[in-house]
Amino acid sequence: MTQSHQCGGAHEVVPDRSTSAIANDTTLTSDLVHANHILFERGVVDAFGHVSARSLTNPNVYFLSRNKAPGAVLEEDIIQFDLDSNPLNADGRPVYLERFIHGEIYKAHPEVMAVVHSHSPTVVPFSIVKNTPFRAVCHMAGFIGPNPPVFEIRDVAGDESDLLITNNQLGAALAKSLGKNVVVLMRGHGSTVVADTLKKAVFRAVYTEVNARTQAEAMRIGEINPLTPGEAVNTSRSNETQVDRAWNLWKKAAQDMHAKLLG
């Protein structure tokens, strides 16, 4: 087994697990490529971070890119994994060390169909400032709720870890910390966002970063007035009927960006 430990972009080459569980989700894999590009174009991920989607035909399989910068992902880079995060068809391609984030969340939360892990720059500070909790402060981010959890890896791995989720034990602890929330911050690392559709997960990841920027800027002016729990629920219910509107716009912008990258 070959490993490379690079912050946020660590990867390893792992033998494929022999299985008959290979899924066929052509539209989903195409959308997963677009999701990678959108998250890069929106500034949620850079060279690091990843997004996955659970198979629509086999709930015990999920799709995730090979180890690659999200903005450069192509459809042929998409690999299938079982819920223990064993690759099924990597064929020697390197995979993310942090794939366990995805597998363990899918295992623990059967309602989750997509997962975004990122180090979006304005969210990370809220994971390390003890007396300034992250809150839903704008109507587009009501899904964050009044008290999103912060995962503390020291509780599981001690105080000398590399902060990466590199095995099933750490992934399971993160999935437990997520609980019934849709956003979990990861101390000194980033955040993980989930949803029952891929497009909604991308929407939530984008607006998690927007909310962080809004909260940080508001705190420069004065004391913040966050959404109430009821406002968080109802704004989320209203806004998430409009996910396709955002997806279609962001997809076009990401396609233009990707064409320039390839040009």
Average of pLDDT values for 21-49?
91
pLDDT for position 2? 45
For 74-122, the pLDDT digits (tens) are: 999 999 999 999 999 999 999 999 999 999 999 999 999 999 999 999 9
Average of pLDDT values for 56-67?
96
Domains held by the chain: number: 1
Residue 101 is assigned to a structural domain of this protein: yes
Task: Say which CATH number the domain at 214 has.
Answer: 3.40.225.10
For 212-235, the pLDDT digits (tens) are: 999 999 999 999 999 999 999 999
What is the extent of the structural domain holding 144? 2-249
Residue 255 is assigned to a structural domain of this protein: no
Output 136 or 130, whichever has higher pLDDT: 136
Residue 258 is assigned to a structural domain of this protein: no
Residue 256 is assigned to a structural domain of this protein: no
Give the β-pairing of 150-151 and 183-186.
Answer: parallel
pLDDT for position 4? 44
Residue 96 is assigned to a structural domain of this protein: yes
Residue 261 is assigned to a structural domain of this protein: no
Residue 228 is assigned to a structural domain of this protein: yes
Of the residues 12, 75, 76, 98, only one is catalytic, namely 98
Cα 7 to Cα 2, 3, 123, 190: the distances in Å are 16, 13, 17, 12
Residue 263 is assigned to a structural domain of this protein: no
- Assess whether 76 carries a catalytic annotation: no
Which of 18-56 are b and which e, b meaning 16 or more Cβ less than 10 Å from the residue's Cβ?
A: eeeeebebeebbebbbbbbbbbbbbebbbebbbbbbbbe
